[in-house]
Structure 1
Amino acid sequence: MLKKKNRTIIDQVEFVCLSELVPKEHLLRTVNESIDFSFIYEKVKDLYSDCTGRPSIDPVVLIKILIIQILYGIPSMRQTIRDAEVNLAYRWFLGYGFQEKIPHFSTFGKNYERRFRESDLFDEIFVQILLEAIQCGFLRTDAAFIDASQVKANANKNKYLRKMAKHRAHKYKRDLLLEINQEREKHGKKPFDDDNDNNNGNQADQTTKEIKESTTDPESGLFHKGEKERCFAYTASVACDSNNFVLAVKAAAGNVHDSQVFSDVFEQVRKRVPDVEAIVVDAGYKTPGICREILEANIVAVMPYKRPVTPEGYFRKYEYVYDEYYDCYLCPNNQVLRYSTTNREGYREYKSNPQICLSCPVRMQCTQSKNHIKVVTHHVWQEYVDIVEDIRHTDWGREMYRKRSETIERVFADAKERHGMRFTRYRGLRKVQHYLTLLFACMNLKKLAMWKKTRGILPRVSSWIFAIWNFTPINATPLPCHLA
């Protein structure tokens, strides 16, 4: 029997509570119960006046609007406000009634420029959510996975200026220079001067390069890798644990190599999770400086095989055997390559005898230089790389590296597919850093809420429970005895 819906009911007056209209299983209800947002008032109280001006919009409401935008991957603040006006769950989460007016979409932008821009509010929100996860025992300390991904900038790739820019100095540059000069003095060589104290024009040429600077967003960087589209972008360097909780995030220009941002991320990880046992990274981070930095912190470094850069048809570097006792190399034809010098990058150079190489039957597989000299390099910190290589060949090392696809790569996939990290509408490094910090804070918050609900944990963990858990990782993979 055909039935027609009576639509007159939509004009009737009903007595109903807004909270009753939000389903018990709704994500925002779970998020709201998982953490007490009142800590934000303490963080921002110094940014507001006590006695002058009109009453402000509740700062918790401003942050919750951003949380809604990120959790549901809404592309703009304007659209977020439009959705909040008609979505009952959004209104309930913000604490607004049926007929209360939702703040204008420009309200957050004005508050950000006037109050939050120079503050550490977003970092403090990130840390507060992470601490909540630590107190619940959700974090695992067996390993931290670090990687970087590009975020397309809000800039036209065809509008740029060519400029000369200085290379970013590594954190360990002075330590390396000190060891280089000790090495050179030991062999009777003149020590190098510090770049920062050298005003020589030739030296400046070595530390600068030509770049393309966007006229739309000068703080972004031109990014191009493989078959990916050439565009202006930012780099998001992120660390997470084995349970995919994000531990640290650092934004940089798209033309800055991942390894140059590693020290900043690694320092944040050590500060927030001081008992982390291993750091797992990809081959792009396999440099002597990074290997040394991790191992000297008494942390295990897990890195994969790094493909050699030797052209096809030539002998690989591992075919040249290093003799530590005599400090020399032996080539595949059993000829000696002796120490020549230590360059500014920290590599010892070992050179062959050109008279021997000239008549060598395998010279074309070794070198085709005009002076018939083969040069093999050996970094002053090579022993750290050798230790990492030994770890790579263990079953435990292979298993830990395999988890990258389940951890940090999954974090980036979720951030881009579900939370809109493929591109940013913000311009400027500081704004992008704040945006990425809050984005990964929301991802942690979502996971924290769902895990609390699944495990039946109360919104606030009591101190005696925290003492019993004592940061003990859940089902953590034990470190092998020979690596402990």
Structure 2
Amino acid sequence: MQLAMHMVTIEDLMPREHFLRKLEAALDLSFVYEETAPFYSKKYGRPAIDPVVIVKYLLVGFLYGIPSERQIERRVQTDIALRWYLGLDLFDRVPDHSTVSQLRRRKPSFRKVFRRLFEEVVGQCIEKGLVSGRVVGADSTHVRANASRASEGLVEVAEEAGVYWERLDDYEEEGLEELERRTGKRRKKRTKQIKRDNRRTHKRVSRTDPESGHLKRPGKPEGPHYLAHQAVDSDYGIIVGQTVTAGDVNDSVPFLGLIEHIHENIVPIQAATADAAYDFPLAHRALGELGIGFFVRPQKTAARMSVQFTRDDFCRDENRDVYLCPIGKELCLRRLARSASGLFWEYQADKRDCALCPLREKCLRESDKRGARKVSVSYFAADRQRNLERRSSPEYREALKLRQVWCEGSFSAQKREHNLARVLRRGLEAAEDHCLLSATALNLKRMIKHAG
């Protein structure tokens, strides 16, 4: 066996057109020193690992779909390109996986670096013209938590205000003034707050990871999960917003906060698009007030009443501001009702009309204590109707198509290549870090592909 001696450096071995060369040229990580300065002492302790190296160490794991710090360490030991990107020479020691893991566990404040990294990449994409805000799609996907179904148990649901409770307070006051104009009556100021839907008193919670949520949706895996909520710009598929909730949280809960944050702090949004899970009346009003068009797939309403006649059987008379029942009797506006999820105009028939009605059995249940039929209409129904009237237009259909292509396509790519299928760490904050790094990895690939 003959051995040859070669005088080479790691720079010579790194291919000139390698993706990581382009990434190094495109992404400036100097802000990491600014963000992490309070975590390091200049006087005491042994020399620390460069924080930029730690960020790169974790980033390459999501760029190449390496699921754990232990596997990243093994990969860097043998991969020249990864050594080059981390600034390690051929014989330099690779940072130990436990050092990185303990840093993330013991210094929770280090996590703000991942949010800043995501925002820096989005900012660069905006500067390069890859983000316009013309159409931004929103969607969520399930991410498996590091816990099993066997660890779950039933716990009582704590009573708490809904996420839109304070926002609805302002609309309720506005609605009461309108009620007084339309009926000449105004109820007293509400003193008892209705906070949650009392139909749900218990839920399944994992003892291993109590911050995850029990996911149970048609066509989805059941068990402890998190939900990654993303907003994607439809020009080049850049993810401009990211947040994470437990797996049992409704998709509509973080929607308005996410869209408003993007609109006010990242890029002005001209139109937002989403699937049927986001078709709730308040969204139509709130986005309209911001000047954001809303293209949403209409939500199918399931009939909850055990009687034959549904709300669709009652005709609206706009001139008289009443609803007409199937035999022509009037249901007049009575009050503005408030629930944990919204505001509703309540129209109610006269008890005497219902008592003598030949169709009473088809319209009222025997257990109905009011003795008169009621029809509830969302306070924001007019805003929703204005948006949905355009759903047959080419612009509307194109927006829904863009959401499907970019939102669902991004989730597919992230789960396949960028570690979004499951989280290894436990807790909501750790799950958000994980999803932010996954989104950042996809954004970097798309930025380098389209902007050079």
State the TM-score, normalizing by the size of structure 1.
0.83
1:439 maps to 438
Whether 1:382 and 2:389 are equivalent positions in the alignment is: no
Aligned length in residues = 439
1:352 positional shift: 3.1
Q: Deviations over 1:3-46 (max 9, x none)?
A: xxxxx35x543212212222233222222222222232222223
- 2:149 match: secondary structure: coil
Specify which of 288, 295, 299 is matched with residue 292 of structure 2.
299
1:328 aligns with 2:322: yes
The 5 A counterparts of 1:366-381 are 366=363, 368=365, 371=368, 373-381=372-380
Runs of at least 5 residues in structure 1 that lack an aligned partner in the other structure? 1-7, 454-484
Matches within 5 A, 1:67-466: 67-117=59-109, 120-161=112-153, 162-171=155-164, 172-179=167-174, 181-182=176-177, 187-193=185-191, 195=193, 206=198, 209-242=201-234, 243-310=236-303, 314=308, 317-345=311-339, 346-353=343-350, 356=353, 366=363, 368=365, 371=368, 373-453=372-452
Q: For residues 362-420 of structure 1, give each alpha carbon's deviation from its aligned partner in whole angstroms, at most 9, with x where no partner exists.
A: 66665555557432211222221122222323321121112111111111111111112
Structure 1 CA distance for aligned equivalents of residues 365 and 219 of structure 2? 31
8 Å contact from structure 1 (residues 249, 265) kept in 2 = yes
**CA deviations over 1:199-253 (Å, ceiling 9, x no partner):** xxxx788497322221101111111001423201111111010121011111111
Which whole-Å deviations, capped at 9, do the CAs of 1:179-206 have from their partners, x for residues lacking one? 45546665343332252xx9xxxx7884
Q: 1:368 to 1:206 in 2, by over 3 A?
A: closer
Residue 14 of structure 1 is matched in structure 2 by 6
Matched letter for residue 39 of structure 2: L
CA distance in 2, matches of 1:221, 1:81: 31
Counterpart selection for 1:64 from 56, 59, 81: 56
Deviation, structure 1 residue 452: 2.6
8 A contact 1:283–1:303 mirrored in 2: yes
Q: 1:38 to 1:370 in 2, by over 3 A?
A: closer
| Matching of residues 27-66 of structure 1 within 5 Å | 27-66=19-58
- The code of the aligned residue for 1:175 comes to D
Judging changes above 3 Å, is the alpha-carbon distance between structure 1 residues 189 and 116 closer, same or farther for their aligned structure 2 residues?
closer
1:482 aligned partner:
none
Give the whole-Å Cα distance in 2 for the aligned partners of 1:48 and 1:175: 46
Report the CA distance between 1:310 and its aligned residue: 2.1
Deviates most, 440-449 or 349-358: 349-358
How far, CA to CA, are the matches of 1:168 and 1:64 in structure 2?
41
Name the SS of the counterpart of 1:158 in structure 2: helix
Q: 1:350 to 1:37 in 2, by over 3 A?
A: same
SS of the aligned residue for 1:260 comes to coil
Q: How far apart, CA to CA, are the structure 1 residues paired with 2:427 and 2:210?
A: 8
TM-score by length of 2: 0.89
* Cα distance in 2 between the residues matched to 1:229 and 1:409: 17
* Deviation of 1:300 (Å): 0.7
Write the distance in 1 (CA, Å) between the matches of 2:56 and 2:345: 56
Q: Which amino acid aligns with 1:437?
A: L
- Cα 1:104–1:190 change in 2 (3 A) is same
- Over the aligned positions, Cα root-mean-square deviation in angstroms equals 2.6
**Matched-pair contact (CA < 8 Å) for 2:242–2:436:** yes
Name the amino acid aligned to 2:449: M
Range moving further from structure 2, 269-278 or 408-417? 269-278
* Contact 1:350-1:375 at 8 Å conserved across structures: yes
Distance 1:208 1:226, change over 3 A: closer
Q: How far does the alpha carbon of each residue in 1:60-96 deviate from its partner, in whole angstroms, 9 at most, with x for none? A: 1111111111011112110111011011111111111
Change (3 A) 1:388 1:363: farther
* Offset at residue 336 of structure 1 (A): 1.8
Q: Check whether the contact 2:69–2:97 (CA below 8 A) recurs between aligned residues.
A: yes
In 2, the alpha carbon distance for the partners of 1:210 and 1:183 equals 38
| Alpha-carbon distance between aligned partners in 2 of 1:264 and 1:147, rounded to the nearest angstrom | 14
Given that 1:234 and 1:251 are in contact with CA atoms closer than 8 Å, whether structure 2 keeps it comes out as yes
